[in-house]
Structure 1
Amino acid sequence: MSFKHLDTDTLADWLRSEKLVTVVDIRDPVSFADAHVVGATHLDNVSLTHFLENAPTQQPLVVVCYHGHSSQGAAGWLAEQGFSDVYSLDGGFTEWQQRHSDWVSQ
């Protein structure tokens, strides 16, 4: 199993259309608390076990980091854990915040 790349415009379309999608943010807790994609869950070593036990594995899963680099490793790992439709957000939260500020939660 592997992950796919997702651009910010496609994620915005999914959220606007209320498509069922799980968004996880792997940035540090302070950055996540300051701002994140609306509806995103912060995923770190503390929350990982609970997430793996409770997240829907058949629903699209989008991994967000700062610039779209470290999310690729996390997305690959999550795909190996049984998630069937995993994406790394290209451009990360930096691009998301620039292009879709109306979908940023603070």
Structure 2
Amino acid sequence: MQQLSAAQLNEWLSNPSRTQPILLDVREPWEYQIAHLSNAQLMPMHTVPEQMQTLDKQAPVVVICHHGVRSMHIARLLEHHQFTDLYNLSGGINAWAHSVDLDMAVY
């Protein structure tokens, strides 16, 4: 698993020549409703063990939460289950809102 800053993720998502990652948001639905990235797939943390088989183990996966702690735990879980291209969004959606999308709601 690699750490990815909000700026690095923004650069990646803005580059059409680069394979786009699965954006896996592991927050709760109420958090997702407040703020989320376009195309992010909501999979609350507690549901990941039963739903991870729906994800491509070879695809790049960026795991997202509020501040980066829950997402790090899930990235480690996925790594344990042979996912090969994992990234944790350092600082989570909060870092994104404060450094990339200043109009995004914060909580």
TM-score normalised per structure 1 = 0.82
Identify the residue that residue 70 of structure 1 maps to in structure 2.
Answer: 70
Matching residue's letter, 1:101: D
Aligned to 2:50: 49
Q: Cα distance, 1:47 vs. partner?
A: 6.4
Q: 1:36 to 1:103 in 2, by over 3 A?
A: farther
- RMSD, aligned α-carbons: 2.0
Segments of structure 1 that go 5 or more residues without pairing to the other structure are: none
The reply to whether residue 23 of structure 1 matches residue 34 of structure 2 is no
Deviation at 1:46, TM superposition (A): 4.3
Gaps of 5+ in 2: none
- Out of 8, 11, 22, the residue aligned to residue 9 of structure 2 is 11
TM superposition outliers: structure 1 runs of 4+ over 3 Å: 45-50
Change (3 A) 1:78 1:47: closer
**1:49 to partner: Cα distance:** 3.3
Provide the secondary structure at the position in 2 that maps to 1:39: coil
Matching residue of 1:90: 90
What are the within-5 Å matches in structure 2 for residues 94-105 of structure 1?
A: 94-101=94-101
SS in 1 for 2:59: coil
Could you state the TM-score of these two structures normalised by the residue count of structure 2? Answer: 0.82
Change (3 A) 1:103 1:57: farther
Aligned partners of 1:38 and 1:103 also within 8 Å: no
In the alignment, the residues of structure 2 paired with residue 23 and residue 86 of structure 1 have an alpha-carbon distance, to the nearest angstrom, of 10
Q: How far did 1:69 drift? A: 1.5
